[in-house]
Amino acid sequence: MQDNRPIKVLLVEDDSASAEIVNALLDQDSGIFEVEWVMSLKDGLSKLAANFFDLVLLDFGLPDSDGLDTFLRLQKHSPAVAIIPLTATGDESLALKAIQLGAQDYLFKGAISRQLLTKAMRYAVERKRGEEALRRAHDELERRVMERTAELSATNSQLKEQIAERRRAEEELRRLSHRLVEVQESERRNIARELHDEIGQLLTGLKLVIEMVSRLPAEELVEHCHKAQVLVNELMGHVRDLSLDLRPAMLDDLGLLHALLWHFERYKSQTGVTVTLTHTGIENQRLTPEIETAVYRIVQEALTNAARHAGVTKIRVNAYADAESLNLQIADDGKGFDVQASLAAGQSSGLAGMRERAQLLGGLLMIDSVVGKGTVINATLPLE
């Protein structure tokens, strides 16, 4: 800390004679010191507040303060400035106390020489600068430790959050898997019912017709064979429908686009509702069986819902795939419904099922519906 600027000194001394001696000893013409002189602690503090000083020469007995208190008040006000108490002879214990409390040195008024004063002041300023540098380094270190601690703590809470998030995701996946098993089981129940009620009944009818054949006169045989044929045709139709509902072969054989187009034709013949499909990126390429099945089922479910509730004659479907995701939209201008209410009431396992299918593949499905305006279902499924 070597520089050529003068050392700025504040002399706080109410005794004019003493002050003049100090002033004379410091010899301002030498350019080493710049001295300002005040006669009370109050004036001293306001000088220190307004200007920078390297050093204070401080008389303890002032009109507005006395003893060690003078030192403590000034030190508290300007902790970065070096202080040398000026004490009257006999006040040595007081001066030593001030040193213990952080004063840089002390001088006896009665025994000051130029050499002594100059040396004491130079040393005091240097020591104070050293202390200040050390304090700053220490503060800086503390600051860095605190910063690092804060960083670590932030990282830690981020990690905790990520762990909690992962737990939630795992929990959700478990719930969805469980739900999928339930859905599969309920589909099996439907198939069993269909087999028993529809097909079982037709088979029983067919059996009766065949049993009667042996007991009938020859002229009635043709008519009965015709009855049997009708029943067999009906049976074949039912089995085909059941098989197609379970899983259309063309989904596996020809892929999503063909299966959708086929389904729209069948849907139109069953419900009279026309579906217009626009698509990008699903032609001439096969997606994974999971994605194709999910998209097919979501569209199927949405169309079934629309046929039941929307009261429309037209539905728009858009499928758009790029390298990252497949986006699906099914929209109608029908009656619409309160999505939250029907989900909350558990009325629509179909709606929940669609969403779960999308979520199981890491995707999202949103249902927007406005009563009187229509319904839009948007789904995004990630493609690996």
The footprint of Ca ion (CB under 5 A) covers: 14-15, 59, 61
In the bound complex, what is the minimum distance in angstroms from residue 45's beta carbon to Ca ion? 17
Give the amino acid at 261.
Answer: L
Nearest to 298 by CA among 373, 356, 345, 251: 356
For residue 216 the two structure tokens come to 């009938």
C-alpha–C-alpha distance, residues 360 and 253, integer Å = 24
- Residue 85 or 353: the one with the smaller Cβ distance to Ca ion is 85
C-alpha–C-alpha distance, residues 14 and 43, integer Å = 11
- Residue 94 or 180: the one with the smaller Cβ distance to Ca ion is 94
Q: DSSP string spanning 103-163? A: ----EEGGG--HHHHHHHHHHHHHHHHHHHHHHHHHHHHHHHHHHHHHHHHHHHHHHHHHH
In the bound complex, what is the minimum distance in angstroms from residue 38's beta carbon to Ca ion? 12
In contact, 32 and 7? CB cutoff 8 Å: yes
> Please, which residues have CB within 8 angstroms of residue 42's CB and are 6 or more apart in sequence?
64
- Residue 15 or 234: the one with the smaller Cβ distance to Ca ion is 15
C-alpha–C-alpha distance, residues 309 and 324, integer Å = 34
Residue nearest to Ca ion (CB): 61
In the bound complex, what is the minimum distance in angstroms from residue 60's beta carbon to Ca ion? 7
- Residue 15 or 43: the one with the smaller Cβ distance to Ca ion is 15
In the bound complex, what is the minimum distance in angstroms from residue 141's beta carbon to Ca ion? 41
- Residue 87 or 293: the one with the smaller Cβ distance to Ca ion is 87
In the bound complex, what is the minimum distance in angstroms from residue 88's beta carbon to Ca ion? 8
- Residue 24 or 150: the one with the smaller Cβ distance to Ca ion is 24
In the bound complex, what is the minimum distance in angstroms from residue 5's beta carbon to Ca ion? 30
- Residue 59 or 91: the one with the smaller Cβ distance to Ca ion is 59
C-alpha–C-alpha distance, residues 374 and 141, integer Å = 64
In the bound complex, what is the minimum distance in angstroms from residue 59's beta carbon to Ca ion? 4
C-alpha–C-alpha distance, residues 274 and 117, integer Å = 106
Give the amino acid at 50.
Answer: A
Question: For residue 126, how many other CB atoms are within 10 A of its CB?
Answer: 15
Buried b (16+ CB within 10 A) or exposed e, 39-62: bebebbbebbeeeebbbbbbbbeb
